[in-house]
Amino acid sequence: MNPIPPPAHPYQFRALGLIKGSLKPIPKTYAQATLVASDGVEYPATPGRAGLLRPFTHCIESGRTYWYYVQPQPRSGGTLGLGVIRILALPEEEQDPAAEDEPFLPAPEDAEEGFNIRGVVEPHEGYIWVAVRRKPQGSKQFPPLRLRLEGFLPGATAGEFWDLLAEREGHKLLLVDGSRLLTAVA
């Protein structure tokens, strides 16, 4: 799935997506916004790391459309939230040479929206739960990210590690394709 980069390790867990849209502010909040996708669907969004705050705020203030690398984050009530982890900007004139963060990158011309989910599956009738393990930060441990994908994986059994491609439809992630990487994960 171009331009989502390949995983760094063959058995790397991840939940990574690429989405096009603009950020609109949520009044009286800090580091929160609504990502309005190019089709008009709205998702709660937060910057994925503190170093991203300046470009995240810039995108809210500019109101322009950008490509965003995002991590899906389930929210209450079945809403799909997005953690913005990288911003791809279009115009060079919006780059801030004084910014300490890495500069905005040009958006790829052949970009397509989509998600790559790599984790341990638990198939059900008509949907799949995927557990994506998260890296600890220092001594802080995180529970796995649990994502629900609508669809069916032929031959999948609980506990297997899969590499999955998905697309968004409203607040749902729809399974497009997948391949089994490991038959059993402890």
What percentage of the chain has pLDDT greater than the value 70?
88
Cα–Cα distance measured from residue 88 to residue 23, given in angstroms and rounded to the nearest whole number: 13
Q: For residue range 164-184, what is the model confidence (pLDDT) as tens digits?
A: 999 999 999 999 999 999 987
Ordered alpha helix ranges (H), the chain:
53-62
Q: Give the list of residues 6+ apart from residue 148 with CB closer than 8 angstroms, or none.
A: 74, 127, 128, 129, 130, 172, 173
Can you tell me the distance from the alpha carbon of 86 to that of 71, in angstroms, rounded to the nearest whole number? 10
Termini Cα distance of the chain: 28
* Residue range 19-35, pLDDT digits in tens: 999 999 999 999 999 99
Q: Can you spell out the DSSP letters for 25-69?
A: E-TT-SS-EEEEETTS-EEEEEESSGGGHHHHHHHHHH---EEEE
Neighbour count for residue 8 (Cβ, 10 Å): 7
pLDDT tens figures, 93-119: 666 666 655 566 766 777 889 999 999
Distance CA 150, CA 173 (A): 6
Instruction: Tell me the range of 1-5, 145-149, 181-185 where mean pLDDT is highest.
Output: 145-149
